[in-house]
Amino acid sequence: MSLHELTDEQREIRALARRFGEEAIAPHAAGWDREHRFPKEVFVALGELGLMGACIPEEHGGAGTDFLSYVLAIEELSRADGGVGVTVAVHTSAVELPLLAHGDPDQLARLLPPLAQGHELGAFALTEPEAGSDAAALRTRAVPDGAGVRITGTKQFVTTGSHAHTLIVFARDEDGGAAVEPAGADGARRAPISAYLVRRPSHGLRVAREEEKLGLNSSSTAELTFEDTPGERLGAPGAGMRIALGTLDGGRIGIAAQAVGIAQAALDVATAYARERNAFGGPIGRLGQVQHKLAEMQTEIEAARALTWRAARLKQAGRPHTVEGAQAKLFASRVARHWTGEAIQILGGYGYTREFPAERYYRDAKVTEIYEGTSEIQRLVIARALLGEAARSVS
Amino acid sequence: MKICVLVKEVPDAAVEKRIDASTGRMDRNGEKNLNPYDTHAIEAAMQIKEGGVIPVEEIVAVTMGPESAVRALHKAVSLGADRSLHLTDAALAGSDVAATGYALAKALEREAPDLVLLGQQSDDGECYTIGAVVADHLRMPSLTQVIQMDVADGGLRCERQAEYGYDTVQVELPAVISVGDAINEPRYPSLKAIMGAKRRPLETLASGDVGIDVALVGVDGSRVSCGEFHAPPAKAAGQIIEDEDTNETVEQIVAWLDERKLI
């Protein structure tokens, strides 16, 4: 990896996240995975360093870095533990950034500093049991109640759902003030979607269950139920889908960085193993098949990193980055899923055991092809930009 | 009290070190970093400041080196130094330890510090001597390889690593003290400190600014010249004891150590 294209600050922030990851996260990652433990204390420590609000302006309690610095930190934290990486990524790019972009001055003053300083955690509640990739099919309702709303519904797969203090919740705006959406595929006319802020604890907000997952066991993924739960609107009425999709545009760059971090961790362990493991009279790293695998692995990780950095720089510059972010996530998540598997292959039988972290990287990597937009959705985003109207024709 | 911390930019620990055969100097083109031992010296200064027994007005990071060395100063500032001083000059390039120590001492004279701290060794040259040279020029007491330091009786009570155990030494200030990495655990710089490092005062000085006699520095002013370089001989394989019965293994290790009068 060439660090020369980074600024001094970016290099130092990367070095800080790397050192913290190696010293304070990686030694515990296997234990957290086994025990399914959400390491709350790590986020307090990250908050003290400024890593829970890296790219949030200083006046809102953040560290005021650029977006690429944040992306570099996510990669390094994910290299130590993918669960910590996704928790920080969702907290920052799916909660703090939309709050920063759409919050009114009072909401910013009240809610952003505790998040940016790591005193509180954030969650993003869009997906529902019957609305995943088809997010616009969501059914959670928000009915007016005084100055705010009361929210009722169920949200699925909410990262940090069991621990978050501030949640961004997307729901049908039953205020009546906003224009009603055109009829959906089922012919029903539905109220438009708005974004809402919900605080924990609040009346009627419950954790229905914490999901049992294949990996990322140090992160929380919860099903939440809302029953007449008080909330306040974030952004304009009916702007929910725009806010959600805009958030995911940037968020998927963070997930691409997470995928790169997990893949890099797998490369590191496979490389070290190839140097030390002896077979047929010497280290296995002298065998062509192992060399080729590692060379391709490193090259593809570098390519994924380059796409990720490019998308991050475009976002920082305020340029369009929807397609570039989708490409970065599509490619990086595939690289992570594929090469974490090949890392196991290099470690052979040991790779399949929990004595080595390769199997954890493999389990952690898979979800990067699913959340914040599946790979299928990323391809759809890319194809639509490529083909324009032709990609949208229904018949 | 004013503390000056000597810092140095060195090749990053992850970079394989190589001597450039044409110049006889270390190839410094790769990734560079602040000498890890110096981060312990900055942390030691911070702990004296935060300990509050002696009020510390200022911690100043001081380096001598090419333009790129400002990065080491920025890092020192992000770890707690208040400002920094960069001694840089074409005439200084190629200085050996004695010449470097003289030049640094001239820069320090101007600051008149109550305490000079530095890492006991640099990750590149590994000479361990610069502190003593600086102390000699400044006519200050010098302590090396210090692994504990407490403010006591108007000076510092230090423990220094000796060949067989530790020396406890009371030293009067001003003094020059080099520290080992066992002295403390350097803190993490915060993102705010990293982002703010370039805004802290950084003064650039040339030889003439601090009265350095250029005849005593640089390649010509250095009395050490490097000849040929050889890689160290490969280590012998050593003896590997298979741990089949732990009691037996322990006995074997103890016997081995005993034989060599190591325990």
Residues of A in contact with B74 (CB under 8 A): 8, 12
Q: Please list the alpha-helical segments (H only) found in chain A.
A: 8-20, 26-35, 40-49, 67-80, 82-89, 97-102, 105-116, 240-276, 288-316, 322-347, 349-352, 358-366, 375-387
Give A183's pLDDT tier (boundaries 50, 70, 90). low
Contact criterion met (CB < 8 Å) for B191 and A16 = yes
Q: CA of A142: how far to CAs of A122, A181, A243, in Å? A: 20, 15, 16
Q: What is the pLDDT of residues B221-237, one digit of tens each?
A: 999 877 777 778 888 87
Residue B79: inside a domain, yes or no? yes
Residue located via tokens 């790769």: B30
> Residue A28 phi/psi, 5° resolution?
-105, -10
Q: How far apart are CA A257 and CA A247, in angstroms?
A: 16
Residue B263: inside a domain, yes or no? no
Residue located via tokens 């970065």: A328
The angle at the Cα of A65, spanning A56 to A242, to the nearest 5 degrees, equals: 45
Q: Are B45 and B80 in contact (CB under 8 A)?
A: yes
The angle at the Cα of B179, spanning B173 to B180, to the nearest 5 degrees, equals: 160
Model pLDDT, residue A217 = 98
DSSP string, A257-298: HHHHHHHHHHHHHHHHHHHH-B-SSSBGGGSHHHHHHHHHHH
Q: Which residues, other chains included, contact A350 with Cβ-Cβ below 8 Å and sequence gap of 6+?
A: A273, A356
Q: Which domain holds residue B167?
A: 2-221
List the domain boundaries for chain A.
Answer: 8-116, 122-238, 243-389
For the cut 70, the answer to whether the pLDDT of residue B184 exceeds it is yes
Residue located via tokens 């959600």: A244
Model pLDDT, residue A186 = 58
**What average pLDDT does chain B have?**
93
The CATH classification number of A243-389 equals 1.20.140.10
> Residue B88 phi/psi, 5° resolution?
-145, 135
Model pLDDT, residue B51 = 94
Q: Which of B159, B183, B160, B156 is nearest to B170 (CA)?
A: B156
> And the tokens for A310?
């490019």
Residues of A in contact with B191 (CB under 8 A): 13, 16, 49-51, 54, 63, 65, 69
The CATH classification number of A122-238 equals 2.40.110.10
Residues of B in contact with A20 (CB under 8 A): 188
Distance from CA of A36 to the nearest CA of B (A): 27
Q: How far apart are CA B46 and CA B56, in angstroms?
A: 9
Give A13's pLDDT tier (boundaries 50, 70, 90). very high
- In this complex, the residue of A3, A15, A63 whose CB is nearest that of residue B195 is A63
For the cut 70, the answer to whether the pLDDT of residue B173 exceeds it is yes
| SS3 call for B1 | coil
Model pLDDT, residue B199 = 94
Q: Which of B194, B200, B202, B240 is most worth mutating to test chain A (most A CB atoms within 10 A of its CB)?
A: B194
**What average pLDDT does chain A have?**
95
> And the tokens for B34?
């602040």
B/e letters for B65-100, b = 16+ CB within 10 Å, e = fewer, are beeebbbbbbbbbbbbbbebbbbbbebbebbbbbbb
Give the residue-averaged pLDDT of A135-139: 93
The angle at the Cα of B204, spanning B201 to B210, to the nearest 5 degrees, equals: 120
Q: What is the pLDDT of residues B85-119, one digit of tens each?
A: 999 999 999 899 999 999 999 999 999 999 999 99
> Residue A118 phi/psi, 5° resolution?
80, 10
Q: Which of B12, B33, B24 is nearest to B227 (CA)?
A: B24
Give B163's pLDDT tier (boundaries 50, 70, 90). confident
Decide yes or no: CATH 1.10.540.10 for domain A8-116. yes
Residue B176: inside a domain, yes or no? yes
Model pLDDT, residue B39 = 97
Residues of A in contact with B33 (CB under 8 A): 15
Residue B240: inside a domain, yes or no? no
Q: How far apart are CA B111 and CA B33, in angstroms?
A: 25
When divided into structural domains, chain B yields a total of 1
Give A188's pLDDT tier (boundaries 50, 70, 90). low
For the cut 60, the answer to whether the pLDDT of residue A178 exceeds it is no
Q: Which residues of A are catalytic?
A: 372
Q: How far apart are CA A19 and CA A25, in angstroms?
A: 9
Give the residue-averaged pLDDT of B243-249: 89
Size of chain B, expressed as the number of residues it contains: 263
Residue located via tokens 């010293």: A23
> And the tokens for B166?
């530790």
Residues of B in contact with A19 (CB under 8 A): 188
Residue B260: inside a domain, yes or no? no
Q: CA of A72: how far to CAs of A11, A67, A305, in Å? A: 9, 9, 10
Model pLDDT, residue A189 = 65
Q: What is the pLDDT of residues A142-168, one digit of tens each?
A: 999 999 999 999 999 999 999 999 999
Give the residue-averaged pLDDT of A20-42: 98
B/e letters for B108-121, b = 16+ CB within 10 Å, e = fewer, are beeeebbbbbbbbb
Give B127's pLDDT tier (boundaries 50, 70, 90). confident
Model pLDDT, residue A182 = 58
Q: How far apart are CA B144 and CA B117, in angstroms?
A: 10
Q: Are A225 and A154 in contact (CB under 8 A)?
A: yes
Strands laid side by side in the B155-162 sheet: B165-171, B155-162, B142-152, B175-179, B115-119, B2-6, B58-64, B83-87, B202-205
Which run of H or of E encompasses B143? strand B142-152
Distance from CA of A67 to the nearest CA of B (A): 13
Give the residue-averaged pLDDT of A83-95: 98
Residue B185: inside a domain, yes or no? yes
Residue B68: inside a domain, yes or no? yes
For the cut 70, the answer to whether the pLDDT of residue A394 exceeds it is no
Q: Report chain B residues touching chain A, CB-CB < 8 A.
A: 31, 33, 71, 74-75, 78, 188-192, 194-195, 197-198
Q: Which residues, other chains included, contact A214 with Cβ-Cβ below 8 Å and sequence gap of 6+?
A: A363, A366, A367
Residue of B nearest to A4 (CA): B31
| SS3 call for B115 | strand
Between helix A322-347 and helix A240-276 the angle, nearest 10°, is 30
Model pLDDT, residue A70 = 98
> Residue B126 phi/psi, 5° resolution?
55, 40
Q: Report chain A residues touching chain B, CB-CB < 8 A.
A: 3, 8-9, 12-13, 15-16, 19-20, 48-51, 54, 58, 63-65, 69
Q: Tell me what ipTM this predicted complex has.
A: 0.86
Q: Measure CA B172 to chain center.
A: 21
Cβ neighbours, 10 Å, residue B47: 16
Q: What is the pLDDT of residues A369-391, one digit of tens each?
A: 999 999 999 999 999 999 998 88
Looking up residue B121, the CATH number of its domain turns out to be 3.40.50.620
Distance from CA of B197 to the nearest CA of A (A): 9
Give the residue-averaged pLDDT of B26-48: 92
Q: How far apart are CA A207 and CA A145, in angstroms?
A: 23
Q: Which amino acid is at B186?
A: P
Residues of B in contact with A65 (CB under 8 A): 191, 195
Cross-strand pairs, A222: A158, A210
For the cut 60, the answer to whether the pLDDT of residue A227 exceeds it is yes
> And the tokens for B238?
């050593």
- In this complex, the residue of B31, B74, B188 whose CB is nearest that of residue A16 is B188
Q: Which residues, other chains included, contact A268 with Cβ-Cβ below 8 Å and sequence gap of 6+?
A: A79
Contact criterion met (CB < 8 Å) for B78 and A12 = yes
Residue B253: inside a domain, yes or no? no
| SS3 call for A151 | strand
